[in-house]
Structure 1
Amino acid sequence: MPYQYRTTGGDCGCGPSCPPQSAPPPSGGCPCGDSFRQALDLLCSQQFYGLVDFGSFAFVSDYFLLGASIEAPAGGSQPGDNLTALSATYRCGSCGCETAAASGPLFPPTVGGLAQAGTVSQAALCRLTAVAFDAADDASLTNAANYQAIVQLFTQLLRPAMPQTCVSIADSLTTGVTATATVAAGPLLVENALVLGQLGKLLVLANSTDGRFYLVCADKIDFIG
C-alpha cells in the first residue's frame, strides 16, 4: 500500500489545529479522548510509522464501527477477535482538537451488519471505545516481522502496572509483559491477547494470529478474562 505522509502542522486540512491550553479540559464526558490522541500521534512518529498499515484500521464506538464489521469469534486458545478484515484509513495529522482523520465503511455493532450509506471522514475521539490496527505487510518486511517490531517498541514505551490499594481494570491486566487476557469492550471482543501495558487511559493489546493491535479505553471495558 502507498505510505501515508505525516503532517507537521497539526492539521490535515479538515479543521483548525488545536489552540494552546493552559489546563486540560474536563474529562467527565470524555474518558479517553486525550489518550487516543496521544496514541494515534505515537503511531505517526518515526519509530512506528513504517511498521503500521494505515489502510487497515478500525475505529470502534458503542454504536458503530468504522472499517470493520462484527463476526462470530473463532474461539479456542489462540489470539483472535470478532472483527472482519480492517479497512478504515487513518491519515496522520490532527483533524481538529477532538477528531481523528479517518475514513472507511461504517457498520452497526451486530454480527453480519451491512455497511451504512454515507461518507465518513472523521472519528470523534471522545466517543471511541477502541482502535484496532494491523502491522504493515510490505516488500521489505513481512507482517510478522513488523508485528514483532511494534511489540518491542510498545514494551519499551508503555507504563507497567503501578501498585495501588484499589486496583483498576487496566492495572489488573498489566501485571506482567507476558500476561494474556480476553477483553470485552462495547461491541469488541478480543480473546487471548498479549497485554502490552497502558498508554494513558488505554490498555494496549496484541494479537499475534492476525498481526493486530488494540488500543482499548479502560473505562469502556465491560468484562475481562
Structure 2
Amino acid sequence: MTARGALDLIEINMKNHLLGMIQGLGFRPENYTLMSFGGGGPLHVAGYAKDLRFQDILIPEWAPAFSAFGCACADHSYRYEKSVDLVVTPDGHLDQAVTMMLNATWGELKKRIAKEFEKEGRDPNEMEFKPTLRIQYFGMFDDLEVESPSDVIDLKDLKEIVKRYDDLFEQIYRRGTKSPHLGYHFTKAIATGVVPVPKPILPDHELKSERPDDEASKGVRDI
C-alpha cells in the first residue's frame, strides 16, 4: 500500500505539472495529442494522463531510448546569455541606441562561443549563429524568447523583432492582452552557436507480410 501511495503521488504531481503547463499557455488537452517517451514517461503515462482527455496518446516502440537517441544525434552547440536592460518606446526615440547595444552584445557573445569551439578543435567557420532575445511588454513580469533575423541588425530588423514578439504573444496569450502601447523591454540577449555533427542513416525496410520469412526463424528452446 505504501508503494502504491508513493506511485499515485508521483503521478498526481506529474499530472498537475503537465496540466498547469498546458493551461498556462492558454491551451486545453482535448485539442492535442500526447507523445510520451523517455525513461519514465511511458511507464507513468496511464497515471498522469488519466482524466486529461487528450485526443490521442502516442508511445514510440523504442520509447526508453527515443530521447537519448535524439541527444546523441544532436548538433554540437553552445548557448550564452547576457542580461540587458533595453527599452523600445512607442515613439521609437531609443531605437538607434538599442540597435547599437544589441549588435555589440551579440558580437561579444559570438566571439566567446567561437573560442569554445576552437578549444575543442572545431572550426568556428562551420558555426551557425542564432541570436535571440527575451522580451516583455514594459511593466509586465513574464518574457518570451524571440529569434532575431540577424546578429547585426538595423532599424528595420528591430521593427521585425518587435513584430515577432507581438505575434508570439498573441499566439500564446491571445490578442486582447497585447499591450504595445506600453513599449517593449528587452531583458536578455542570447546567442547560440551550432556546429553540425555526422548523423546516422536509418535504414528504410520494406514491410512484409504478417508471417515472417522462414529464414528469419530463430527456432525454439525450452526455458
The structure richer in strand per residue is 1
TM-score by length of 2: 0.24
Larger Rg over CA atoms: 2
The structure richer in helix per residue is 2
TM-score by length of 1: 0.24
